[in-house]
Amino acid sequence: MSTVTSITRTPSSGFTDHAPGVLPSPEHPSSRRLSIVTDLPRRSGGPLTATGLPRTVAHEIGVPTVHRTVVDIANFDHGATTPALVAVKEAVDKVSPTYGSVHRGAGFASRITTAWFEEARAEVGRFVGARPGDEVIFTRNTTDALRLLAHALPQDAQVFAWQSAHHAALLPWPAEHTTALRVPGSVQEAADLLRTALTAADPQAPKLVVLTGACNVTGEVWPVRELAFIAAQFGARVVVDGAQLVPHRAVDLDDLGADWIAFSGHKMYAPYGAGALVGRADWLDAAEPYLPAGGATHTVSGDGIQWHTGPARHEGGTPNALGAIAIAAACVTLARHRETVDRHEEALATRLRDGLGQIPGVRIVAALGADRPNVGVVTFTVDGWDSSLVSQVLSDEDGIAVRDGRFCAHLLCDTVVGQSAAAVRASLGLATTPDHVERLIAGVRRLVTSGSALPYRHVPGQGWEAIGDPRDLSQPRPW
């Protein structure tokens, strides 16, 4: 069963109901369905935009709106998955014809793919400041990388993580040996909580502190150096969840004081199913293989198994060589244009935060304080509006892609949004333009002052849908 919910609002009368199927204005009287359009006319191409920014493939995506227009997609969902850089797509296209299984192959395809795969490993290590002796292990994503480290923990290791962490960084550790620190309200509180917990810990046990590089809900950059310094005073090691940090800041393991960092290609414009864990070798080489299979084995005989050390120990099976090469291409491109990227994102984030902050009824979410450096994430609520409805209306009317929900950080959202409450997240990046920012600000302001163009109903299990939507959003399969 579906229900029509009061969602159209005017400044004078508040919410106004419309009967099912009745449009709120004569602007959309036709019952003709508008077919979806996925491509705008191609712009002059190349891997860089006219302003010198790395170009993404999303610069050429057009989406239809309920107003029977087609607009370029306003991508504010970089915090979930980024579109591929053109340079990354070109790298993947270049290696695809000669793709082969890596290692132990004498054929040309295998040999050249192996060489590129290992060069990609070195490139990824350079990107995050890997030290001599550090390992670069390719994984599926950040979640997989952190789970690998959890697998490699010494048996009696104690783990310390904040409840504000993404579930990928909060949940993989042994529950009986993990101390979950409450969500801090400031940098000082975060430091005090860590110091107190480490003081009470067993001084002889191995210890691991799990740090968030940048919060996926609020965008706040965490004080990694300060917290890592405290950890070092107690002999604790540090792993950084770098999923949201690496795409937006230059990272160096020594500078951060970290032992490991985990991150995903799909957060840094290389959405080809690969991630990495980079850092110290000793715990990793001492652990049983993460994927006990071919590639991880040195020898298998009737007397037992000898496993490789180094990255091969935990990369059992055929690895995602194309994904690794994609991450390497993204690393090179981002490093080469870091200053330009930083200026672009800072300008857009400042304007977005200021613009949304001036709209009555809009509350921007923060945890550590509004003055913390931010990677371009603005999460907000709108008084009187369900967050999933806000995101759906912005998509349908303005071609804006945002995300709503609790962002795999439920304990943090309980604290900064509200118990069991959800919010809207706008996360910008290289596929976002100044015009997109203005479109988002205007779209939210219009929601607050005038409501939506069409009435909406909520369909259980499916979400919100516009009544009288003229679009046909079905798409043929791409194969």
Q: Determine whether 408 is an active site residue.
A: yes
Stretch (H or E) spanning 192 = helix 187-199
Tell me how far apart the alpha carbons of residues 95 and 120 are, in angstroms, rounded to a whole number.
Answer: 12
Question: Nearest-5° angle of CA 410, CA 225, CA 245?
Answer: 50
β-sheet with 275-279: strand ranges across: 135-139, 275-279, 260-264, 237-241, 207-212, 158-162, 178-181
Tell me how far apart the alpha carbons of residues 377 and 371 are, in angstroms, rounded to a whole number.
Answer: 14
* Cβ atoms within 10 Å of 77's Cβ, excluding its own: 23
Beta bridge partners of 77: 427
Question: Nearest-5° angle of CA 125, CA 78, CA 88?
Answer: 50
The token pair at 194 is 């860590």
The token pair at 208 is 């691991």
The SS3 call for residue 319 is coil
Instruction: Give the phi and the psi of residue 136 in degrees, each rounded to 5.
Output: -115, 110
From residue 223, alpha-carbon distances to 186, 226, 290, 393 in Å are 10, 6, 31, 36
Q: Which residue in 215, 331, 408, 413 is the catalytic one?
A: 408
Query: What Rg do the C-alpha atoms of the chain give, in angstroms?
Result: 24
Tell me how far apart the alpha carbons of residues 160 and 196 are, in angstroms, rounded to a whole number.
Answer: 11
Beta strand 275-279 with 135-139 is: antiparallel
Tell me how far apart the alpha carbons of residues 120 and 86 are, in angstroms, rounded to a whole number.
Answer: 18
* Cβ atoms within 10 Å of 293's Cβ, excluding its own: 12
- Judged on CB neighbours under 10 Å (0-12, 13-18, 19+), 290 is buried
Residues 219, 377: contact at Cβ < 8 Å?
yes
The SS3 call for residue 7 is coil
- Judged on CB neighbours under 10 Å (0-12, 13-18, 19+), 81 is middle
What's 334's DSSP letter? H
> Where would I find the beta strands (DSSP E) of 17-96?
34-35, 62-64, 70-72, 74-75
| Active site (catalytic) residues | 408
